[in-house]
């Protein structure tokens, strides 16, 4: 029985946190074009070029076919370009307050972009690549509580208490003032986001630190986002009336989503037309026109429209087959007309306003029409939700549909199921599609796509993240499914919630299956190429080395402190001060009772960096492994990777540092060349 059947067991979800929604609407992938003479043969219903969004390699590792280029640091820079300060906010004044008192409380409505305001306050213009914002301030369990751990100088902390239906617990509210005191003493900055209706629950000590930024001008924000998408012709003072009315009540997230849809309409129309036309299309245009095909239609016509709205972009033949599967599931009256005497299927499509491209793929007349019809039918027929769940599951499992069609079906179904408050059924499908044996390689992509939709959902994203955390805590989780979760964490969650992605990938790195652990570590190292994520990872690994003695933590710390990641200055020989401070903090923990790691670090770093050499000698002295470092310098290099850096002067410089650390030579004594030992 499918998990989408009415009697299936749903996955339990719980938690309280908000997320970022990066837009809505369909993602339409291209269709194949056949060039030249002769026939085109397509097997298993999959069109050339129509591939899954994710692919599984020969080792069972799931990867996105086109690597995502957006990273956390880029996201902050993009937010800065689109940021419009509210009229009640003077950024420099708030930062002076942060420096003096350690914290501010932003009070207002989360719909007015409080999270973005907090991020911009914590990272001044031009410093987006120099700081990372730590948002993992809550323990990830069913009873949330502040779990900040050790604070470091210069840390940027963002605590969002606006998400979810329930107000923050008394325990959390009571911990805010002690946290502010710790932030001030450590030289860290803390921004707390709090809904206006919770103001009276603030501790008295924090009421002098409240800032009410107000609401940014939504049309100005809309203009900035259009500029980012290179859409010309918009001037806020000449905005059409429908847009003004809509913007008065829209959240900043919805404004961003509308700009994305306007950019889509602009490109879809070949850059032809006027800004008012593109905005009208993105706003849904004339709702009556979009839903006109539903008027005065019978059961079969509505089934065709419903199937087309889920499978837009599929071939005529596959749509027809999906319609025939759907009809008995929605108990449409049997049509007694012999099949050969029925009207041609393409005539039925034409009467409903559907177009058939030269490649025989079906499209709606308007770009947003499929989404409007899906929403209308899902809203109007709640008694059919379970039947539609089973039918959508059948589409995802249909081997005759192309992989891209199955991705689109999974994505569009998940959007509707979440919109009508059925997140548990989506998570049940994610797990079933991700663990199913047999043709699991075909459904892993659909599992990842549906999970991505759920993670970005404005209402249920936090619940889904919590569920992924619980899955990641299970070291015996089926490897196929673990690979799905790793891929989505690295590809989607790392963009919107890099700290949460780091925590979950770290959990998977300790999985019982070697291949799963390797995949998670590989994903972490790939993300560490972005400097902000690299700092986050080093901070977390340092904390874990202090708390426990896990080999996986040591292996990850070793990879994060290799020259390729640390030496990224203009000369390729310097370590950024923030990174160096984290290395100096974690390295002694790494080397304690570990002469083997001391030898490895010595071999790897001799001659590469004076900064690291100093940190290594100090760490070995604190860890009690200086003797191992000393003998390492005296022996020949063991690998070709390090042999080229082992010059006599490099060896002598490190030996001199060791002598100084042991008190055998004053630190001011000029360096005396040594004979090279072999």
3-state secondary structure of 411: helix
Question: Is there a contact between 484 and 434 (Cβ–Cβ < 8 Å)?
Answer: yes
Residue 15: pLDDT above 60? no
Higher pLDDT, 164 or 87: 87
What's the mean pLDDT in 511-515? 94
Q: Quick one: which of 158, 194, 187, 180 has its CA closest to 76?
A: 158
| pLDDT for residue 459 | 87
Residues 274 and 203 in one domain: no
Domain presence at residue 515: no
Distance CA 276, CA 138 (A): 44
Phi, psi at residue 546, to the nearest 5°?
A: -75, -35
Domain residue limits at 96: 85-211
The CATH number that applies at residue 178 is 3.40.50
| pLDDT for residue 608 | 87
Distance CA 469, CA 398 (A): 31
Residues 621 and 644 in one domain: yes
Higher pLDDT, 582 or 146: 582
Chain Cα centroid distance, residue 671: 51
Domain-ending residue, one of 245, 260, 285: 285
Q: What are the angstrom distances between the C-alpha of 352 and each of 26, 149, 296, 325, 566?
A: 20, 60, 11, 19, 60
Phi, psi at residue 296, to the nearest 5°?
A: 55, 45
| pLDDT for residue 367 | 73
Residue 479: pLDDT above 50? yes
- For the chain, give the longest Cα–Cα distance: 102
Domain presence at residue 558: no
Residues 241 and 150 in one domain: no
Length in residues, the chain: 678
Domain presence at residue 148: yes
Mean pLDDT of the chain: 82
Domain presence at residue 112: yes
Residue 42: pLDDT above 50? no
Residues 636 and 651 in one domain: yes
Name the pLDDT band for 110 (thresholds 50, 70, 90).
Answer: confident
On the 0-12 / 13-18 / 19+ scale of CB atoms within 10 A, 124 is middle
Residue percentage of the chain with pLDDT more than 70? 82
Question: Is there a contact between 91 and 121 (Cβ–Cβ < 8 Å)?
Answer: yes
Higher pLDDT, 82 or 3: 82
| pLDDT for residue 419 | 94
Distance CA 667, CA 663 (A): 9
Domain presence at residue 659: yes
How confident is the model over 482-497, as pLDDT tens digits? 999 999 999 999 988 8
Residues 150 and 263 in one domain: no
Residue 387: CB atoms within 10 Å: 17
Domain presence at residue 590: yes
Residue 281: pLDDT above 90? no
Residue 670: pLDDT above 50? no
Residue 234: pLDDT above 60? yes
Domain presence at residue 634: yes
Distance CA 27, CA 494 (A): 20
Higher pLDDT, 483 or 165: 483
Q: Using CA atoms in the order 17, 18, 20, 26, what is the torsion angle rounded to 10 degrees?
A: 100
| pLDDT for residue 336 | 62
Residue 37: pLDDT above 60? no
Residue 148: CB atoms within 10 Å: 20
Residues 614 and 586 in one domain: yes
Tokens of 653: 């410089």
Residue 12: pLDDT above 50? no
| pLDDT for residue 124 | 86
**Which positions ≥6 away from 502 have C-beta within 8 Å?**
494, 524, 527, 533, 536, 537, 540
Distance CA 414, CA 388 (A): 11
Question: Is there a contact between 184 and 103 (Cβ–Cβ < 8 Å)?
Answer: yes
Distance CA 1, CA 105 (A): 50
Least confident of 116-125, 207-216, 283-292: 283-292
Residues 156 and 238 in one domain: no
Residue percentage of the chain with pLDDT more than 90? 49
Give how many domains the chain has, as a whole number: 3
Least confident of 116-120, 126-130, 430-434, 668-672: 668-672
What's the mean pLDDT in 522-531? 91
**Which positions ≥6 away from 158 have C-beta within 8 Å?**
115, 118, 119, 122, 133, 134, 135, 137, 190, 191, 193
| pLDDT for residue 263 | 92
What's the mean pLDDT in 2-23? 38
| pLDDT for residue 25 | 38
Residue 520: pLDDT above 80? yes
| pLDDT for residue 615 | 94
How confident is the model over 369-398, as pLDDT tens digits? 888 899 999 998 899 999 999 999 999 999
| pLDDT for residue 668 | 54
Least confident of 83-97, 159-173, 218-232, 418-432: 159-173
How confident is the model over 588-625, as pLDDT tens digits? 999 998 899 999 999 889 888 889 999 999 999 999 99
Please tell me which of 116-130, 292-306, 587-601 the model is most confident about, judged by mean pLDDT.
587-601
Question: Is there a contact between 542 and 150 (Cβ–Cβ < 8 Å)?
Answer: no
Residue 584: pLDDT above 90? yes
Distance CA 62, CA 538 (A): 25
In sequence order, what DSSP letters do the residues of 526-565 get, joined into one string? HHTTSHHHHHHHHHHHHHHHHH---HHHHHHHHHHTSHHH
| pLDDT for residue 357 | 85
Residues 239 and 205 in one domain: no
Question: Is there a contact between 144 and 161 (Cβ–Cβ < 8 Å)?
Answer: no
Residues 100 and 193 in one domain: yes
Domain-ending residue, one of 285, 317, 340: 285
Question: Is there a contact between 6 and 391 (Cβ–Cβ < 8 Å)?
Answer: no
Tell how many helices (H) and how many strands (E) occur in the chain: 32, 9
| pLDDT for residue 332 | 58
Least confident of 104-118, 174-188, 439-453, 594-608: 439-453
| pLDDT for residue 171 | 86
Least confident of 67-71, 291-295, 398-402: 67-71
Question: Is there a contact between 65 and 151 (Cβ–Cβ < 8 Å)?
Answer: no
Name the pLDDT band for 273 (thresholds 50, 70, 90).
Answer: confident
Residues 266 and 204 in one domain: no
Tokens of 149: 């751990």
How confident is the model over 546-581, as pLDDT tens digits? 988 789 999 999 999 999 899 986 666 789 888 899
Per-residue exposure over 3-37, b if at least 16 CB sit within 10 Å of its own CB, e if not: bbeeebeebebebbbbbbbebbebebbebeeeeee
| pLDDT for residue 31 | 31
Q: Quick one: which of 112, 125, 11 has its CA closest to 423?
A: 11
Domain-ending residue, one of 227, 253, 285: 285
For the four alpha carbons of 630, 632, 637 and 639, in that order, the dihedral sign comes to negative
Place of tokens 């591939």: 51
Residue 50: pLDDT above 60? yes
Name the pLDDT band for 292 (thresholds 50, 70, 90).
Answer: confident
Q: Given the DSSP bridges, would you call strands 355-356 and 189-195 parallel, antiparallel or unpaired?
A: unpaired
Residues 173 and 244 in one domain: no
| pLDDT for residue 166 | 61
Domain presence at residue 618: yes
Name the pLDDT band for 79 (thresholds 50, 70, 90).
Answer: confident
Residues 128 and 236 in one domain: no
| pLDDT for residue 73 | 56
Chain Cα centroid distance, residue 170: 30
Tokens of 96: 């002076």
Residue 643: pLDDT above 80? no
Name the pLDDT band for 527 (thresholds 50, 70, 90).
Answer: very high
Beta-ladder partners of 451: none
């Amino acid at each position: 029985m499918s998990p989408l059947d009415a009697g299936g067991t749903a996955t339990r979800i719980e938690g309280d946190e908000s997320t970022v929604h990066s837009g809505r609407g369909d993602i339409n992938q291209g269709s194949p074009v056949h060039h030249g003479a002769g026939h085109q043969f397509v097997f298993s219903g999959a069109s050339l070029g129509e591939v899954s969004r994710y692919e599984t390699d020969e080792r069972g590792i799931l990867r996105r076919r086109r690597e995502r280029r957006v990273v956390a640091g880029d996201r902050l820079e993009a937010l800065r370009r689109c940021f419009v300060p509210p009229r009640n906010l003077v950024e420099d004044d708030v930062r002076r307050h942060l420096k003096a008192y350690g914290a501010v409380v932003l009070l207002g409505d989360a719909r007015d972009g409080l999270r973005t305001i907090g991020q911009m306050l914590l990272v001044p213009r031009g410093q987006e690549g120099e700081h990372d914002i730590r948002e993992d301030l809550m323990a990830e369990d069913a009873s949330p509580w502040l779990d900040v751990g050790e604070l470091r100088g210069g840390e940027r902390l963002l605590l969002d208490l606006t998400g979810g239906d329930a107000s923050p617990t008394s325990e959390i509210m009571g911990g805010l003032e002690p946290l502010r005191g710790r932030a001030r003493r450590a030289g860290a900055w803390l921004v707390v986001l709090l809904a206006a209706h919770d103001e009276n629950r603030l501790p008295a000590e924090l009421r002098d630190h409240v800032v009410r930024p107000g609401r940014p001008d939504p049309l100005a924000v809309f203009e900035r986002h259009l500029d980012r998408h290179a859409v010309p012709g918009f001037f806020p003072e000449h905005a059409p009336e429908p847009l003004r009315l809509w913007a008065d009540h829209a959240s900043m997230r919805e404004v961003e989503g509308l700009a994305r849809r306007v950019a889509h309409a602009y490109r879809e129309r070949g850059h032809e037309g006027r800004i008012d036309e593109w905005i009208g299309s993105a706003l849904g245009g004339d709702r009556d026109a979009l839903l006109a095909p539903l008027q005065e239609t019978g059961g079969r016509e509505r089934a065709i429209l419903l199937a087309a709205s889920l499978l837009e972009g599929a071939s005529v033949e596959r749509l027809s087959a999906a319609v025939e599967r759907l009809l008995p599931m929605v108990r449409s009256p049997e049509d007694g007309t012999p099949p050969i005497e029925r009207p041609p299927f393409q005539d039925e499509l034409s009467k409903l306003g559907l177009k058939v491209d030269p490649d025989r793929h079906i499209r709606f007349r308007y770009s947003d029409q499929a989404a409007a019809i899906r929403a209308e039918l899902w809203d109007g027929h709640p008694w059919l939700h379970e039947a539609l769940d089973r039918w959508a599951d059948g589409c995802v499992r249909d081997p005759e549909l192309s992989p891209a069609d199955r991705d689109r079906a999974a994505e569009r179904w998940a959007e509707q199921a979440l919109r009508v408050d059925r997140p548990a059924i989506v998570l049940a499908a994610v797990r079933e599609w991700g663990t199913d044996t047999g043709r699991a390689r075909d459904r892993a992509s659909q599992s990842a796509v549906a999970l991505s939709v759920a993670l970005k959902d404005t209402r249920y994203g936090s619940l889904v993240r919590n569920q992924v955390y619980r899955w990641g805590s299970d070291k015996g989780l089926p490897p196929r499914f673990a690979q799905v979760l790793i891929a989505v964490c690295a590809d989607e969650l790392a963009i919107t919630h890099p700290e949460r992605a780091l925590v979950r990938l770290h959990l998977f790195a300790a999985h019982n299956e070697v291949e799963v652990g390797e995949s998670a570590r590989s994903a972490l190292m790939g993300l560490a190429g972005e400097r902000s994520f690299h700092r986050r990872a080093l901070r977390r690994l340092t904390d874990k080395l202090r708390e426990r003695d896990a080999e996986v933590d040591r292996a990850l710390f070793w990879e994060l402190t290799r020259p390729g990641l640390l030496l990224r200055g203009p000369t390729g020989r310097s370590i950024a001060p923030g990174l160096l401070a984290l290395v100096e903090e974690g390295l002694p923990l790494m080397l304690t009772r570990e002469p083997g790691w001391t030898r490895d670090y010595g071999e790897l770093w001799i001659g590469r960096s004076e900064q690291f050499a100093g940190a290594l000698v100090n760490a070995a002295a604190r860890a009690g492994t200086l003797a191992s470092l000393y003998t390492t310098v005296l022996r020949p290099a063991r690998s070709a990777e390090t042999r080229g850096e082992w010059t006599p002067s490099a060896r002598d410089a490190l030996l001199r540092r060791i002598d100084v650390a042991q008190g055998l030579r004053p630190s001011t004594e000029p360096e005396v060349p040594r004979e090279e030992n072999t």
